[in-house]
Amino acid sequence: MSRLASTFDRARAQNRAAFVAYLCAGDPDFDVSLAACRALLANGVDVLELGVPFSDPLADGLTNQLAAQRALESGMTAARVFELVRRLRETSDAPIIFYTYYNLVFSNGVDAYVRASKAAGVDGILTLDLPPEEAGELTAACRAHGVDTVFIIAPTTPDARIAKIAAATTGFIYYVSREGVTGVRDQVAGNIHEAVARIRAHTTLPIAVGFGIGSRAQVAQVAAHADGVVVGSALVNCIRDHLADRDQIAPVLAAKARDLSAGVARG
């Protein structure tokens, strides 16, 4: 059983949702990013969603765009991202998935990129701008190297495509609860229960819900219906707000993770 499957099974057995946390690899620099990721994994995070910094992150709002820019300006490369994962594997066996864009995979050679990801310790790959209809080479490489695939379903996805997306997925379904880009919102989308039920009709895979979730109360709202809750921008904002005193980033993130993770329990 994969680390992702084991993690979601354990959360289900504990009557809670899995807490999936996003940070951009190398934001604001390699050493602080390593400490930040370790702080999350030590304080309630079940799955680390590691953004691979990219110059044109079309699915991301301003918060995550600037995080990618900081990471790139600090010297992050594909090789450094793999090194970050290897360093995280020294102290944690929690699932790590890449949140990336297809150009970064394709330009390095699809099979070579997936093979290197697996060797570094990556458990799954979510390629934001690659629809399953065009993902044959990636899914074949992931299958060959034992890396899970994660695909996105949106509020506008019709039922016929939900079945197709689910068939291409081996890790978990990422339900994007809002149209548009990433970013903290004042309220959680109001139709999550119905949306998750619609997806469940087509798959037995775990369903994680993200985009716009940033408080413990919002985590609890989503955890009541989903198998996983994804928080990104609210954590990245902790980095942005402490750039002048980078030693504070890891402890601030630790406290934020503890607060958010308190919302995943059901009943």
Annotated catalytic residue 73:
no
Exposed/middle/buried for residue 234 (C-beta within 10 Å: 0-12, 13-18, 19+): buried
Angle of helix 110-120 relative to helix 78-89, nearest 10 degrees?
Answer: 30
Active site residue 134: no
Of 27, 49, 123, 148, catalytic: 49
User: Burial code of 114-145, b = ≥16 C-beta within 10 A, e = fewer?
Assistant: bebbbebbbbbbbbbebebeebeebbebbeeb
Q: Which of 27, 60, 123, 148 is catalytic?
A: 60
DSSP readout, the chain? --HHHHHHHHHHHTTB-EEEEEEETTSS-HHHHHHHHHHHHTTT-SEEEEE---S--TT--HHHHHHHHHHHHTT--HHHHHHHHHHHHTT--S-EEEEE-HHHHHTT-HHHHHHHHHHHT--EEEETT--GGG-HHHHHHHHHHT-EEEEEE-TT--HHHHHHHHHH-SS-EEEE-SSS-----SS--TTHHHHHHHHHTT--S-EEEESS--SHHHHHHHHTT-SEEEE-HHHHHHHHTTTTSGGGHHHHHHHHHHHHHTT-B--
Give the residue numbers annotated as catalytic, written as ranges.
Answer: 49, 60
